[in-house]
Amino acid sequence: MPARRDAVPVELSSEPLSRLPGAGPRVVEKLAARGLLTVQDLWLHLPLRYEDRTAITPIRFLRPGVPAQVEGRVEAVERGFRYRPVLRVAVGDESQGTLVLRFFHFRAAQVAQFAVGARIRCYGTPKPGQNGLEIVHPSYRVLGDDDEVALGEALDPVYPAVEGIGPATLRKLIGLALDRLPDEAALELLPPAMLAGLGLPSLRQALLTMHRPPRDADIAALALGTHPAQRRLAMEELLAHHLSLRRQRLAMQRHGAPPLAGKGKLANALQKSLPFKLTGAQQRVYAQIREDLKRPSPMLRLVQGDVGSGKTVVAALAAMLAVEAGKQAALAAPTELLAEQHLANLRTWLEPLGVRVAWLAGKVTGKARATVLADVASGQAQVVVGTHALMQEAVTFRDLGLAIVDEQHRFGVHQRLALRDKGAGKDRVPHQLVMTATPIPRTLAMAAYADLDVSAIDELPPGRTPVQTVALSAERRPELVERIRAACAEGRQAYWVCTLIDDSEESGKSGQGWPGAGGGTRIEAQAAQTTFETLSTALPELRVALVHGRMKAADKQATMRRFKQGEIDLLVATTVIEVGVDVPNASLMIIENAERLGLAQLHQLRGRVGRGATASSCVLMYQPPLSMMARHRLATMRQTNDGFVIAEKDLELRGPGELLGTRQTGLAAFRVADLARDAALLPQVRTLADRLLADDPVAADRVIARWVGGAARYASA
């Protein structure tokens, strides 16, 4: 069997386009600018839609908005000039119908073609005009009286445009590329029996169907992307990406890692000293981590846990296993605020056990920095907490056994890798634990994290009352001020979150502003400043304070600390408080312009309240009128507090790209697959991958080569 495969596919598919007849250097250059380099790239340049020229529709049966092909004779021609030149051609047929073809751009030669009585065949979408239906700029041809012009056998593909190449040329080139498709057996890399079982066609069949759908093809399914031919292609593409992640995982596991297999004395002591008992979910995930760490190959585990599910303590327990084994552990968080909170927690928990915790962030400079770096290098520092500063080159560990990355989606792939590379060197890497409070749906996790084991802390610590969420129009702001007054009078604390209100920052297409990002911070800070002043005046009896991203880190931190200690009643903040901040006495949160935020971010923000035993509420304030999407999002927030449910909804509403953060760089590059649409294929993809890796690893590598190629993004991830 392998002999047969070696004979053709990869080489053929990578045939350069310059070999196609008619593809001169200029055309090849234009195609390359669009990323189309090989014959295979043209196979995969799939039509956007189709035009049906397989039948002629009698003019009387035309319906507005429904594209159709008609044939008739020119009955009248009128050249006019209303604001701009216009050519109107009336065409009639045996059905006694009349259709007007209207042109705004035309050449004299064209006018001459439309002699009264000339036979015309044209295609387009009719719409109501002044005198019945008309088609603006139809595609057409003039036929001789005796011409027998056959109707199309297949639907006509309309391809995504390639700049500088006309649609007809592009269609011709793709046709030539398709003529070079090898036969079924030579092209196929997947076990045919398995495909048949799934009701999917061969790759050759799928490609031919996509480019030349037969007259009776299910156009509706093609438009929706659910046609078996599309699912077949999506399946192979998803499989390729999945396999490439699995291969990376295998490569990573070929490195050694220090087995951390102590008795767990430090970890047990930590558990005993905690003022609470671990939840069942925490215990389960900790046990999984403990098993992983005993092995001489690196742990590659992602812990997903909703906000407030208690991931930090699980990370701390894992770190104790490393320390007990005489190794170091590092914990990196994406923001200084969050890292400092981890530092405070870890110092409280670990220092009584005699474990030395060091701190490294960007603002640690000069002599202090030199000291920390020396402690990290000598092993004096057993646990090192910090921001991305931990990942810088100057930081050398004596023996890093465990690298923990919190809110991993906030880091770039490269940053995470940098920490991994700080292992004991040569062929040893540290165990890796990544944590996220932005759960992604299970199906998606399979695609995005095929290189990781995934655990979920799917249970909140006991005694939390679910946050009550309401949506309120901004007009009712005065009521909210009273509500804050009342809550604070009872000794509770509140957040007022200001989000970006600058329209230029809102990415118009997706409708997803992402406050707190880039240039938005300044405007956001201004909005918060104004709100801070207004609320301070309206609530003179309260201690009101402000935090935003433009403040000095030290000031921000001091304010957060005072809030945490109960010295501030109302904290006006920008989305800097989003990640991980923990103040159990805060029980009321108001989010301005909530309609502009994505579900994941709203959920993160809301997770700042409901951390203590008091009943908490979250008010989503919006500017009417609400778009459909925004209405949906706010309704979802009111209906559920479950991060996993919200993630599913988020996937549905805005697709996988944004959900995956930095991971999207790889996943957004799909040519055919669409994770939201094709998520149902993922379990099959996984089964198929298992089978291929076991039975035919050569085919697995070919699938990767065919779809993912040597793309650098995967080589290093």
Q: Which residues bind ligand ADP (CB under 6 A)?
A: 276-279, 282, 305, 307-313, 437, 461, 580, 582, 611
Contact partner, 587, from Mg ion, ligand ADP, none, Cβ < 5-8 Å per class: none
Pairing state between β 119-124 and 68-82: antiparallel
Shortest Cβ distance from residue 304 to Mg ion (Å)?
12
* 258 interface partner picked from Mg ion, ligand ADP, none, CB below 5 to 8 A per type: none
**Which residues are bridge partners to 621 per DSSP?**
472
Question: Closer CB to ligand ADP, residue 308 or residue 430?
Answer: 308
- 306 or 592: whose CB is closer to Mg ion? 306
Q: Residue 502, exposed/middle/buried by CB under 10 A (0-12, 13-18, 19+)? A: middle
Nearer to ligand ADP, 348 or 627 (CB): 348
Q: % helix / strand / coil in the chain, to the nearest 5? A: 45, 20, 35
Task: Identify which of residues 465 and 507 has a Cβ nearer to ligand ADP in the complex.
Answer: 465
- Min separation Cβ 309 and ligand ADP, Å: 4
Q: How many CB atoms lie within 10 A of CB 613?
A: 13
Longest CA span, the chain: 99
Residue showing the smallest CB distance to Mg ion in the complex: 580
Restricted to residues 349-368, the positions that interact with Mg ion (CB under 5 A) are: none
Q: Which does 310 bind (CB under 5 to 8 A by kind): ligand ADP, Mg ion, none?
A: ligand ADP
Q: Which residues contact 225 (CB under 8 A, 6 or more apart)?
A: 234, 674, 677, 678
Contact 332, 580 (CB under 8 A): no
Name the residue with tokens 């880039």: 518
- Looking at the Cβ atoms of 259 and 584, the one nearer to ligand ADP is 584
Region of 76-84, 285-293, 575-583, 681-689 interacting with Mg ion (CB under 5 A): 575-583
Identify what 189 binds: Mg ion, ligand ADP, none; CB under 5 to 8 Å per kind.
Answer: none
The CA distance from 270 to 350, in Å, is 7
Closer by beta carbon to Mg ion, 124 or else 308: 308
CB of 329 to ligand ADP, least distance (A): 16
| Closer by beta carbon to ligand ADP, 198 or else 278 | 278
CB of 603 to Mg ion, least distance (A): 13
Give the residue at shortest CB distance from ligand ADP: 310
| Nearest-angstrom CA–CA distance, 81 and 367 | 80
Q: Residue 311 CB, nearest distance to ligand ADP (Å)?
A: 4
Helices (runs of H) and strands (runs of E) counted in the chain: 30, 22
Could you tell me the CA-to-CA distances from 676 to 199, 439, 444, 657, 679 in Å, in that order?
Answer: 21, 16, 9, 9, 6
Q: Write down the least CB distance from residue 126 to ligand ADP, Å.
A: 58
DSSP assignment of 307-348 = TTS-HHHHHHHHHHHHHHTT-EEEEE-SSHHHHHHHHHHHHH
Residue 607 CB, nearest distance to ligand ADP (Å)?
7
**Beta bridge partner(s), residue 266:** none
Q: Is the Cβ of residue 230 or residue 279 nearer to Mg ion in the bound state?
A: 279
Is the Cβ–Cβ distance between 524 and 575 less than 8 Å? yes
Q: What's the token pair of residue 452?
A: 């990781």
Q: Is 580 in the site for Mg ion (CB under 5 A)?
A: yes
**Residue 200, binding choice from Mg ion, ligand ADP, none, Cβ under 5 to 8 Å by partner class:** none
Q: How many residues bind Mg ion (CB under 5 A)?
A: 1
| Least distance from ligand ADP to the Cβ atom of residue 13, Å | 46
The residue ranges that bind Mg ion (CB under 5 A) are 580
